[in-house]
Amino acid sequence: MSGLIDHLAGTRWRQVDVVESTGSTNADLAVAASIEDIDGRVLVARHQTAGRGRHDRTWTTGPSGALTFSVGVRVGAATSAMGWLSLLAGVAVADALARTTMFDAVPGVKWPNDVLIGERKVAGVLSEYSTRVLAGGSGRDGQAVIGIGVNTSMTPDQLPVPEATSVFVETGRAIDDDELAVDILRELDVELAMWPSRLDELAQEYRSKCVTLGQRVRLVLPGDNELIGTAVDVDAQGRLLVTADGGSTTAVAAGDVTHLRA
């Protein structure tokens, strides 16, 4: 992977570190973010022992068979567009996988950022925000850590849950993790250059990939509340707009979506 940086020339990714094993690349970059500038950094782990997923879940990939990495992005003060960062990472992964032209089904994004092949999840994104005090106490700087996990060569017995899949399971073929990482990072670089000033264009791109829109959905919201309705759109904050049967529309910032059969 040391050659990875050569393939990222001209992009924002200025430092690429590869470690054989760590707990969580997100945790590592989050620690770094509290003391230093992590903008443009990439941390790849061949293996994670304590991978973190959304909603405080663990992200299990086994000893090998997955591409796991995190990137650092300076975002300044928290903005309402922050929610879009993790959505865009999902698009970058779906686009990069689609370009491999290995799949019968086009990879899609389930809101907010699960990447699906057909009905099954092949990749996930966890984005976290932290601030650090600048030198001399001259203010605070906001930085995001965006973590991406793609099940690449995992075999069926290595998949953590039945709803998961891998590139290998879907295609019977191996994919080069490093090439996929480069492709995702180049895609993400283009998107981040457009964020947040060209959010409308990015949102259109997301809508075209989002398999949740137009579907009847059940959402488990924080606090175990449930919402059933039709997913109609995503707003400027990246929230899913769900219209319930009674006609009222709710903007959902975080939650687990189930696509219901009509």
Neighbours of 253 (CB within 10 A): 13
Q: Cα–Cα–Cα angle for 169, 170, 173, nearest 5°?
A: 75
Strands (E), 75-205: 108-110, 114-117, 120-133, 140-151
Helix (H) or strand (E) holding 247: none
Whether the Cβ atoms of residue 234 and residue 219 lie closer than 8 Å to each other: no
212 binds ligand BTN (CB under 6 A): no
Q: Which of 8, 12, 13, 26 binds ligand BTN (CB under 6 A)?
A: 26
Told to check if 124 binds ligand BTN by CB under 6 A, we report yes
**Lookup result for tokens 């991978």:** 51
Q: Whose Cβ is closer to ligand BTN: residue 42's or residue 248's? A: 42
User: Does residue 40 touch ligand BTN according to CB under 6 A?
Assistant: no
Binding ligand BTN (rule: CB under 6 A), the pick from 11, 70, 151, 153 is 70
Give the total of residues touching ligand BTN (CB under 6 A): 20
Contact with ligand BTN (CB under 6 A) among 5, 18, 46, 53? 53
Q: Which of 126, 159, 182, 242 binds ligand BTN (CB under 6 A)?
A: 126
- Of 261, 248, 165, the C-alpha closest to 218 is 261
**Smallest distance from the beta carbon of 27 to ligand BTN, in angstroms?**
6
Question: Cα dihedral sign for 106, 196, 80, 123?
Answer: positive
Tokens in use for 192?
């981040």
Which of residues 145 and 202 has its CB atom nearest to ligand BTN in the complex?
145
Give me the residues that bind ligand BTN (CB under 6 A), please: 24-26, 48, 51-54, 57, 59, 68-70, 114, 124-126, 147-149
